[in-house]
Structure 1
């Protein structure tokens, strides 16, 4: 049982959804509680199609969004028909915590329960308000109001045909609003970032304290003092700019030699480094312009004192238009092109560097930046002019990386490019045009190229932005206080072997080195596939993992998993197993098949001539998974098996319970 699936893993997701609904339905029935399986489907789809895709990651804000926005938008049902949805969500969240499936970075159970209770009051009104509907739901509910059963596909298609012919009236203005809203609210899955390690915040604060940008911003705020007059265009006065170039050591050139004459700078906007600093000071809101005067922001005083917070605020202000073009608002066409796409391109570049294990060749990033700028901005460019524009934009991009390096966000080096950055250029790559692949192959064939990587400060800042966007961005050490099962589950879904080993080492150190806490959590998992994945992560992370694996061969709960792992790793031969181990191993395989393919998958794999003997052997094997054995007993039994979703419809007629 996984709690994270790639968006194109449709079969895996459907199998996981079916397994979770089967187990949850039986768990609720054992407690005498009624639930709506369609509400569980909706909750899983809500999380699966989200930006992060974590099925079991829930916060109070997500609970509110699901009950008051997502369900009213997507579930074609009246408030009366969906009356069980809030209670079902409450049961679903409780089940996740009870089985250890819950994501450890979500909100605690008490906060989730309170969020469900609070949203339940507003749920009927949200379901009834047509302004909350999605386009598909609007039409289905419109058909239902006109007496058409939405489950009758022929009648529904006939209704839509009548709509196209103009024979059914509808609220065109409302429909236009719903279409526009649906386009802007469409969630898009982002790549899950790997776990990272960072120094302690105290160490990062010392680094920020020594950074030039923090020093310059503080000096700038002090210089502003009680206020400084600005020009009529909102720029720094030229005399003040000259003073600041020296005070802040910006490196700007105040005059240049034209050969026959020395030309002085005529505007502060022509001093690029000072212009960027001035812009960042305003964007971080440590200063602001009021009635032609630049003044300090009193509320920002704590921010100015906190070096790490000030550095991060300045970094967060970087990906916005206007950073490359100052004052006059004019620059070369390729500079304007990059500047107009900066809010899209720069975060993507930083995310790419963040997620890669080796320094990235700048040329590889530059080519994708050019493609992205061309895609995001429409302009008519003659083919003969393209090389000049592309080269100019690449030059500006390299200058931008230099600014980030001065900032302390990236480190620029030179060296041989890692082969991983040219591995996708050997054959066809639909993501890159052929001419781009040719240029990259030539550039990456060099013995030394310009490379870029994030500094620890840059990693911390990028991770903070990823988290604010709701994305997966684990940090080694974040799970030190998590319960054992959720911690191991998170490692399975989102950590590399190296970062998982570091996380487990820190967790054990914080819990007295008690390995039994982790082994017990695996033993108690009601899902064999998840237990096997958690056990594999643990074994691979421990220095003596091999010994632990061999010791667990005789464990009543973990024995079948350990035995199969030893066989898969070539450390145990089938001939070394006794009859009991063989039977347990076969039962384990059927239980894994049951979780991965469902009852139908097991039924199709059963040998018809040996069914009675196989049933007796497996059900009497003594395997510890009692829940799974009960499901297998149903599969072995006579007659078709009812699916939890069978017989339920979303029509306007009241459902029978």
Structure 2
């Protein structure tokens, strides 16, 4: 239920399978639903969200899908009735729950249905609000309203010519709004998957937060400001006498002997701005005072710590350098500030790592980010350059250490980091991804007003969501070639790779890792951004099918074992808990998912192989168990009885059907000829428990133009081909 964006063929097959099964389910339950809306909903979760989890829905997804994605991407021609997207979405959510594909970490079924009901009254207005439309929808609708047959390529080309010549009336203000929104948003970027993390409870985190030196200083500053207010200078700074008092009271470490202004006390200034950003203190009419509403936060160490952590990312750049006090030409803090990009990436890099990050590796990773940015030319000529950038990064890490977000200690780096030391090949990413060769591009004869240049592909039926959507823009073009000389790519790359490997292997280095507090707050931020950040123990109350599905899709083996152990402990008797889990696999209607669920269950149990062997004779699970036993090389073909061999053939064909789609199965059967025909007949007579799947195979067999030629081996393929379903289907 999750695919990398590059897994286009695999996603296409699963999307087709889900839509097909949904249509059958809806018909059996007397439900009138639009399969196109189902496909649009799956596309939205796959392509339009950072996490891509098809089975996880909550209120924000429902609102964005109905009020943004559908109005922007789904075109309703003048002679068509708009689809009942809210009604179909309700049915899809019910279906995902009924077949145990809903992710248990999302909202419950009653909650998502209530969310659809809340958004539904606004859907019709959103669909008719032209300012919400995408570029493709705007021009296709405009063409159709002018009587153009939008399925006729030549008619569309003629329309483009008239629009370019100013002969087609349209609302320029609406078009400008659409273009501006399109230029502002490049769409969501699929986030990298995160390993599950383990965290203590809030009571432990609260006790850890209470030991933070920064929290003591922030609380002390708010208490000093008080409700009586402290007078500031005309420029809005602390008076020098007050500043000296605070340096001693808060133990900031600033040198007050030779300063003439509180502006020369960097650590104190950092704390003041930090407290302002965290809404603990504020300035009004030239005075500084504590915010009364912040008192509950000041009294709760964990709440205060979380607010301080979030505020640190929002600090104005001139005061971020708490320890070093250097605010000159700086990558992180100066005129070329990239702090807002670097800090989240650094924290995400440290998040869920199984080993502490060595400073040299983190430093060079951040340098790589600088080099891929437009700052490269500045850094290459600036007198401070990367050395200052490294100092700035150390400053940030020092403040995070004082806060209690990271821990640093000396030690040997894990060998995995030396293995990952930058090579010359790593530097290819510095220049960005080269644009595709011009010879491979097809350019339409004209561009409509407001459309970006560089669109590829002919004006055909797929134009509705490909040619004119803006998604076909040529992206990934490298920066100015002058910024990356051959010497930089070759000589410096080699030197830096050798230096990094030497640093990591020659002796102890500084090792950096997130603390529990840091991990907790980074995870909270990731979740707020809509990203997936699994937490060991969060599935303790999940339904068995939901548990196994999430473990199969998102968990590494060690984390899956820990999560499953916790789930079994919560559910009391181990035998009864295992029976629930096995029953969940038994009732899963999708063959590939059932095998994945059983695989993760068996892999996470000490006696998993015994369980797997015991299911060999289970009437419902025998095909899945036999497939896993063969895949793990516990059984060989010679170990199988004749009925078991037939079950294996049937299971292989059914999984092939799910993995490649109907077109893929037809092609495989056609190519393998007589032997495939015989295998299919054997599968249909095997007694496999998936009667619905066998019926689909029977229907496929009746449409296959068999080729009478022999091939070696039974049909065992599970390759991935694009099923062709979406490419030839007209889109609204």
TM-score (norm 1): 0.92
Is the contact made by 2:126 and 2:132 (CA closer than 8 Å) also made in structure 1? yes
Please report how far the alpha carbon of residue 78 of structure 1 lies from its aligned counterpart in structure 2 after TM superposition.
Answer: 5.1
Is the contact made by 2:131 and 2:174 (CA closer than 8 Å) also made in structure 1? yes
Query: Aligned residue for 2:345?
Result: 348
Please report how far the alpha carbon of residue 44 of structure 1 lies from its aligned counterpart in structure 2 after TM superposition.
Answer: 0.9
Is the contact made by 1:325 and 1:339 (CA closer than 8 Å) also made in structure 2? no
Moved more, 131-140 or 163-172: 163-172
Is the contact made by 1:320 and 1:342 (CA closer than 8 Å) also made in structure 2? no
Please report how far the alpha carbon of residue 406 of structure 1 lies from its aligned counterpart in structure 2 after TM superposition.
Answer: 1.2
Moved more, 180-189 or 483-492: 180-189
Moved more, 433-442 or 311-320: 433-442
2:26, 2:494 → 1: CA distance?
Answer: 55
Please report how far the alpha carbon of residue 183 of structure 1 lies from its aligned counterpart in structure 2 after TM superposition.
Answer: 2.9
- The residue correspondences of 1:268-283 to structure 2 (distance < 5 A) are 268-283=262-277
2:320, 2:688 → 1: CA distance?
Answer: 71
Please report how far the alpha carbon of residue 503 of structure 1 lies from its aligned counterpart in structure 2 after TM superposition.
Answer: 0.8
1:437, 1:520 → 2: CA distance?
Answer: 56
Moved more, 282-291 or 368-377: 368-377
Q: Indicate whether 1:359 and 2:356 are aligned.
A: yes
Is the contact made by 1:323 and 1:339 (CA closer than 8 Å) also made in structure 2? no
Query: Aligned residue for 1:485?
Result: 545
Q: Indicate whether 1:468 and 2:516 are aligned.
A: no
Query: Aligned residue for 2:40?
Result: 42
Please report how far the alpha carbon of residue 415 of structure 1 lies from its aligned counterpart in structure 2 after TM superposition.
Answer: 2.5
Query: Aligned residue for 1:30?
Result: 28
Q: Closer, same or farther in 2 for the Cα pair 1:381/1:114, shift >3 Å?
A: closer
2:616, 2:29 → 1: CA distance?
Answer: 35
- The residue correspondences of 1:79-478 to structure 2 (distance < 5 A) are 81-185=81-185, 186-226=187-227, 227-255=229-257, 264-323=258-317, 325=319, 331-334=327-330, 336-337=333-334, 340-373=337-370, 381=378, 383=380, 385=382, 388-424=384-420, 425-426=422-423, 428-429=425-426, 430-432=428-430, 433-434=489-490, 435-436=492-493, 438-446=495-503, 447=506, 448-478=508-538
1:382, 1:389 → 2: CA distance?
Answer: 5
Q: Closer, same or farther in 2 for the Cα pair 1:571/1:646, shift >3 Å?
A: closer
1:65, 1:308 → 2: CA distance?
Answer: 32
Q: CA offsets per residue over residues 6-46 of structure 1, 9 Å max, x none?
A: 11111111111111111111111112222222211211111
SS of match in other structure, 1:340: coil
1:529, 1:67 → 2: CA distance?
Answer: 31
1:554, 1:584 → 2: CA distance?
Answer: 12
Is the contact made by 1:488 and 1:534 (CA closer than 8 Å) also made in structure 2? yes
2:626, 2:542 → 1: CA distance?
Answer: 29
Please report how far the alpha carbon of residue 610 of structure 1 lies from its aligned counterpart in structure 2 after TM superposition.
Answer: 4.9
**The one of 617, 636, 643 aligned to 2:701:** 636
Query: Aligned residue for 2:60?
Result: 61
Please report how far the alpha carbon of residue 647 of structure 1 lies from its aligned counterpart in structure 2 after TM superposition.
Answer: 9.3
Query: Aligned residue for 1:10?
Result: 8
Query: Aligned residue for 1:548?
Result: 611
Is the contact made by 1:411 and 1:455 (CA closer than 8 Å) also made in structure 2? yes
Q: CA offsets per residue over residues 116-167 of structure 1, 9 Å max, x none?
A: 2232222222111101101111111111111112222332222123222333
1:327, 1:618 → 2: CA distance?
Answer: 69
Query: Aligned residue for 2:557?
Result: 497
Is the contact made by 1:289 and 1:295 (CA closer than 8 Å) also made in structure 2? yes
Is the contact made by 2:379 and 2:385 (CA closer than 8 Å) also made in structure 1? no
2:586, 2:320 → 1: CA distance?
Answer: 62
Q: Closer, same or farther in 2 for the Cα pair 1:637/1:116, shift >3 Å?
A: same
Please report how far the alpha carbon of residue 172 of structure 1 lies from its aligned counterpart in structure 2 after TM superposition.
Answer: 2.4
TM-score (norm 2): 0.83
2:419, 2:81 → 1: CA distance?
Answer: 54
Is the contact made by 1:359 and 1:451 (CA closer than 8 Å) also made in structure 2? yes
Is the contact made by 2:254 and 2:267 (CA closer than 8 Å) also made in structure 1? yes
Is the contact made by 2:320 and 2:396 (CA closer than 8 Å) also made in structure 1? no
1:646, 1:595 → 2: CA distance?
Answer: 18
1:356, 1:183 → 2: CA distance?
Answer: 35
Gapped runs of 5+ residues in structure 1? Answer: 256-263, 652-657
Is the contact made by 2:666 and 2:704 (CA closer than 8 Å) also made in structure 1? no
Q: Closer, same or farther in 2 for the Cα pair 1:338/1:580, shift >3 Å?
A: farther
1:45, 1:315 → 2: CA distance?
Answer: 35
SS of match in other structure, 2:260: coil
2:727, 2:400 → 1: CA distance?
Answer: 57
SS of match in other structure, 2:121: helix
SS of match in other structure, 2:81: coil
Gapped runs of 5+ residues in structure 2? Answer: 431-488, 706-722
Q: Indicate whether 1:588 and 2:655 are aligned.
A: no
Query: Aligned residue for 2:570?
Result: 510
Q: Indicate whether 1:21 and 2:27 are aligned.
A: no
Please report how far the alpha carbon of residue 523 of structure 1 lies from its aligned counterpart in structure 2 after TM superposition.
Answer: 0.8
SS of match in other structure, 1:431: helix
Is the contact made by 1:315 and 1:461 (CA closer than 8 Å) also made in structure 2? yes
Q: CA offsets per residue over residues 264-308 of structure 1, 9 Å max, x none?
A: 112223222212211111111111111111111111111111101
SS of match in other structure, 2:312: coil
1:421, 1:492 → 2: CA distance?
Answer: 27
In the TM superposition, structure 1's runs of 4+ consecutive aligned residues that sit over 6 Å from their partners are 326-330, 642-648
Is the contact made by 2:317 and 2:337 (CA closer than 8 Å) also made in structure 1? no
Is the contact made by 1:522 and 1:531 (CA closer than 8 Å) also made in structure 2? yes
Please report how far the alpha carbon of residue 339 of structure 1 lies from its aligned counterpart in structure 2 after TM superposition.
Answer: 7.5
SS of match in other structure, 2:378: coil
Q: CA offsets per residue over residues 596-655 of structure 1, 9 Å max, x none?
A: 011122222224335664444212212122221121111112479x9987997456xxxx
Please report how far the alpha carbon of residue 59 of structure 1 lies from its aligned counterpart in structure 2 after TM superposition.
Answer: 0.8
Q: Closer, same or farther in 2 for the Cα pair 1:196/1:296, shift >3 Å?
A: same
Query: Aligned residue for 1:537?
Result: 600
Please report how far the alpha carbon of residue 173 of structure 1 lies from its aligned counterpart in structure 2 after TM superposition.
Answer: 2.5
Query: Aligned residue for 2:690?
Result: 625
